[in-house]
Amino acid sequence: MRIIGYLDHPQLKITVFKTDTRLSIKLENGNLEQTYKFRPTEHMSSLAAIRELVDEPFLLTVMERFRTMDTDFRSSLERHAPPAAEEEFDEII
């Protein structure tokens, strides 16, 4: 797998990868990521074509999915992670 390029975005890191049999678009937002994989076609095999594919409606959906993923992950952490111990400080008079 090799990187064929990056797409600029103010909030996301978007990397496009290519292998012999597929293209992958990886979108990263902090500790979360989404990857979309597909077989290249005659019309969808270049970085320019990927730029057209990753349009505003697609990115709005991706951002909403990241919000949902974050909510799901935080909820799971709250259910399963022990509560953080509160630090105790000496009382200052």
Q: What is the pLDDT of residues 31-63, one digit of tens each?
A: 999 999 999 998 888 999 999 999 999 999 999
The domain total for the chain is 1
Residue 9 falls within a domain, yes or no? yes
User: Among 42, 66, 12, which Cα is nearest to 23's?
Assistant: 42
Residue 50 falls within a domain, yes or no? yes
Residue 92 falls within a domain, yes or no? no
Its domain, for residue 50, covers: 2-80
pLDDT tier at 89, thresholds 50, 70, 90: confident
Taking the model in full, what pTM does it have? Answer: 0.82
Residue 90 falls within a domain, yes or no? no
Could you tell me the CA-to-CA distances from 21 to 38, 40, 56, 62 in Å, in that order? 9, 7, 27, 24
Residue 88 falls within a domain, yes or no? no
